[in-house]
Structure 1
Amino acid sequence: MSEIVGQTPATSADVGRRAAARAEPRLLIDGELTSATDGEEFENFSPATGASLGVTAAAGPQDMLRAIDAARRAFDETGWSTDRALRRRCLAQLQQGLEDEKQEFADELVAEVGCPTMTLRNAQLDWPLAESLRYPARLIGEFEWERTLCGGGLFGERNVRTVVQEPVGVVAAICPSNFPVEVILNKLGPALAAGNTVVLKPDPNTPWNATRIGRIIAERTDIPPGVVNVVPTPSNDVASLLATDPRVDMISFTGSTAVGRALMRLGAETMKRTFLELGGKSALIVLEDADPVAALRSAVGVCVHAGQACAATSRMLVHRSAFDDMVAGVASAFDAVPVGDPASPDTLVGPVITATQRKRVLDACTRATVDGARLVTGGRSVESLPVELAGGHYVQPTVFVCEDPDLAIAQEEIFGPVLVMIPFDDDDAAIRIANNSAYGLAGAVLSASTDRAMAVARRVRTGAIGVNGGMFYGADAPFGGYKNSGVGRQCGLEGFGQYLETKTIGSRIPRQH
């Protein structure tokens, strides 16, 4: 079984101390960095060690209402929604501020998220920092904000219609703990570029990346007061004000399907626009002619960041002719995966975010065994932890074989380093099993024939899918899900459009005398 790898001089305790020394604990409301009105704070804990990293201001009801009011006034009473040149300049300033504090962001991600340092080079930090603000900033100058429908139609040549794209208004951006910088920037970028104002509510398990962004906005940019407000809170009641307050026009949420449903219900009373990027149970389809080495490499992907990725391919569908060999290969690979302190450059699997989440993962593994799935490897907490990691939340990389694709372990999102392997007999069966899910977020297909893999990919009901290692991620590429995986798209032109309203103006050309 995989166990903790050897420690390096840089440990999570070291990184946590560095992060705590530079952390921003304050809220940002109406341009002011401030403590909570009632003085309340909450602790930020390291998932790697279980120790407290420090505290963050805990927004109460008054703080949340003040933030909503500030965002409303900034949208209604300032030129932010109409001044595109100002928005481009401010996003460039924010970009520079983020780059100047890249190391601090990296420390905080390792400390409070528990993500392995190797993930900083991709979706945790480097990728969003490279393009999540730059792409929507560029769209400000390139986007077709207006188009004219001249003549024709029911009312003749003298009737001109102008189609105008305008910002939605006040956006509540509610973000998760697993990829906080990536999600925050991919919400802030298009929302601000489109001319909206924002109330940002980070996950209470990972508040410091958001509060750092708030401080950079306050100190390093010309973004007017109230345009961005950052209000971390551990209270669901306080957070729910974003969904019920009529001054909020849109909810932009990334997180679990259960919470997404609740927000949709709460927001329905005031007819809020809702963008939801939710859970997944994505399928990796390995056709019988696929490269087995590539298949093993793809299988291990569910272990990255301890499986805490909504797009993780947590179901591996393998042609029956290669199934037994692939199970043995995957089990060996999972046993060899480096599990340990996320601060170590060798670690692939760090902790899950909380003790509660670890229990959910382990309970799902226990239930799977009772239901009849075969445990191949893993399924337990990591044992023999070094004393400095004893309070952390580690789960062994886990593989199940499941002949019945309807079992809970093959249907429910686990959000841990757990892979379910399912055999299939032909391409139609693989597609049927892949689509036998309440989710439809991502996926992958491997085959020696690109045409065959593409044909399979086109039939899988999912919002994004990779073929033979192809990467669908990018600020210019729409991302989101079918079915219970969400409503709407993040990134790309489609994601930019989420933050816009459409107005059609008809005007009559007077007759010339």
Structure 2
Amino acid sequence: MALLADGMSRLLIDGKLAAGGAGAFATVNPATEEVLGEAANADAGDMDRAIEAARRAFDDTDWSTNTELRVRCVRQLRDVLQEHVEELRELTIAEVGAPRMLTAGAQLEGPISDLGFAADTAENYEWAQDLGQAAPLGIPTRRSVVREAVGVVGAITPWNFPHQINLAKLGPALAAGNTVVLKPAPDTPWMAAVLGELIAEHTDIPAGVVNIVTSTDHTLGAMLAKDPRVDMVSFTGSTATGRSVMADAAATIKKVFLELGGKSAFVVLDDADLAAACSVAGFSVCLHAGQGCAITTRLVVPRDRYDEAVAIAAGTMGSIKAGDPSKPGTVCGPVISARQRDRVQSYLDLALAEGGSFACGGGRPADQPAGFFIEPTVIAGLTNEARVAREEIFGPVLTVIAHDGDDDAVRIANDSPYGLSATVYGGDAQRAAVVAARLRAGTVNVNGGVWYSADVPFGGYKQSGNGREMGVAGFEEYLEIKAIATAAN
């Protein structure tokens, strides 16, 4: 049976697919502005039932202690997603506006495969550690440390890489023994709803263990953060919303994982191959129309080669046209919505007001009468103090900034409220590594290295969030630590 065969998605609550209490809402193709279909629109009552189902499944079943069941279920989910990968690919291109080329990686196939890492980790994990016998306070005692599931996890996810982020939360949270309520962004409801359909019909995941609640009502996310039945909130999104999540969760002192914004620097040292470095920087900021929190959007280059660097980046980005994401060669598709397109455009207007100029781009492409497109744009002539150099734009926009040597480049890169990612290019690999070590960022790419992988933890410093997703560290975010001391007679 085809996924979403009737053009309508449903909620998954307590093992059953259901309509939303607030009716339905349209989901739109951002490349054409055409309505694709409808998604169930949950209300507060639906969210309450989802939380209650997750609480009951955690408290009253053996899900949290039955590692064999969990491992089997996570692998079942991986396998059924792989069986439907071609349908999922077309849905992803249509709803997310993701270029077809990216669905072979982080937009689809990568995160599906990564579920295997979560299952393998749970299967081989050292859940209990024997610390041996000692005599604290003179009392002979056998000690052990046990790791166990946190409980009910509220997962709140964005629209830019929905499969990657939904599955990077679901996989380890479930494998670790938690139950989950997933609240996805209303811009891409189908990407989460198809998971509910497949879980309900093709896996042995027990009722209530996974609940998926799509809605246009953003206050339902706040319900997850505030509700005392929820033990942890795992949030990916903007820093502003992350602050609200943390504040809402404070009342119950629940565990909070935050993966937030970025304004990452691409540092080019004076011994680097300038043409190669600036071309890579320009290309990477065009991928998926720049809608990635870890994309390097500040190009920091030697001052005496500034004009050359701008010209190279503009040459690369000017040759990349925003276009139809369904075509195999498209790199830069649309941004997700008219609201987001207008937001990006407001930053481009601000760049001019701040005294900058465009080396290429600067607005909507003339050859795209429909769709939420923005031209790949290079901003020149501004310092790191400009707002467009400090605030996350989330579009295909690169700001070029001059530096006066390695120390100045490090200062500029670190002079940001964010610390999610960074790149360093240099001719001397050891020198580049020294600069990379000084950067306050959670992931650093040196001379083209790739950090994205299931076994590598991802997250940021400062206002880019707290905690890590993926890797063993990401798995352990969903665990509590219990020390057990037994008197030894």
Q: TM-score, length-normalised on structure 2? A: 0.97
2:337 aligned with 1:358, yes or no?
no
Q: Matches of residues 30-429 of structure 1 in structure 2 within 5 Å?
A: 30-38=14-22, 40-131=23-114, 133-152=115-134, 154-156=136-138, 158-295=140-277, 296-385=279-368, 390-429=369-408
Cα distance in 1 between the residues matched to 2:280 and 2:5: 38
Aligned-residue offset at 1:414: 0.2
What is the letter of the counterpart of residue 428 of structure 2?
A: S
Q: Which amino acid aligns with 1:32?
A: K
SS at match of 2:443: coil
CA distance in 1, matches of 2:247, 2:275: 46
- The residue aligned with 1:9 is none
- Which whole-Å CA distance do the structure 2 matches of 1:250 and 1:195 have between them? 13
- The question of whether the paired residues in 2 share the 8 Å contact of 1:243 and 1:263 is answered with yes
CA-based RMSD of the aligned residues comes to: 1.4
AA aligned to 1:206 is T
Which has the bigger relative contact order, CA under 8 A and spacing at least 6? 1
List alignment gaps of at least 5 residues for structure 1. Answer: 1-17
SS at match of 1:364: helix
Runs of 4 or more, structure 1, over 4 Å off, are 18-24
Q: How many residues align?
A: 487
Task: Give the distance between the partners of 1:333 and 1:299, measured in 2 at CA.
Answer: 6
Q: Percent identity?
A: 48
| Inter-partner Cα distance in structure 2 for 1:55 and 1:154 | 62
The amino acid of 1:283's aligned partner reads A
Q: TM-score, normalised by structure 1?
A: 0.93
Structure 2 distance, partners of 1:211, 1:332, is 41
Separation in 1, partners of 2:399, 2:4: 38
Contact 1:24–1:212 under 8 Å retained in 2: no
Secondary structure class of the residue paired with 2:296: coil
- SS for the counterpart of 1:49 is coil
Are residue 485 (structure 1) and residue 464 (structure 2) matched? yes
Q: SS state of the match for residue 314, structure 1?
A: strand
Q: Deviations over 1:297-356 (max 9, x none)?
A: 232200100000000000000112322211111111111113211111121111100111
8 Å contact kept, 1:23–1:208? no
Pairwise CA distance, 1:127: 1.4
Give CA deviations for 1:50-87 in whole Å, capped at 9, x if unaligned. Answer: 11111011111111000000000000000000000000
For the residues of structure 1 that align with 2:304 and 2:64, how far apart are their CA atoms? 59
Decide whether the 8 Å contact of 1:19 with 1:108 is kept in 2: no
Are the aligned partners of 2:144 and 2:484 in contact in 1 as well (CA < 8 Å)? yes
Deviation of 1:23 after TM superposition, in Å, equals 5.0
**Partner Cα separation in structure 1 for residue 349 and residue 156 of structure 2:** 32
Matched, 1:27 2:11: yes
Query: Counterparts of 2:316 and 2:364 in 1: how far apart (Å)?
Result: 18
Q: Is the 8 A contact 2:193 2:212 kept in 1?
A: yes
**For residues 129 and 156 of structure 1, what CA distance do their matches in structure 2 show?**
52
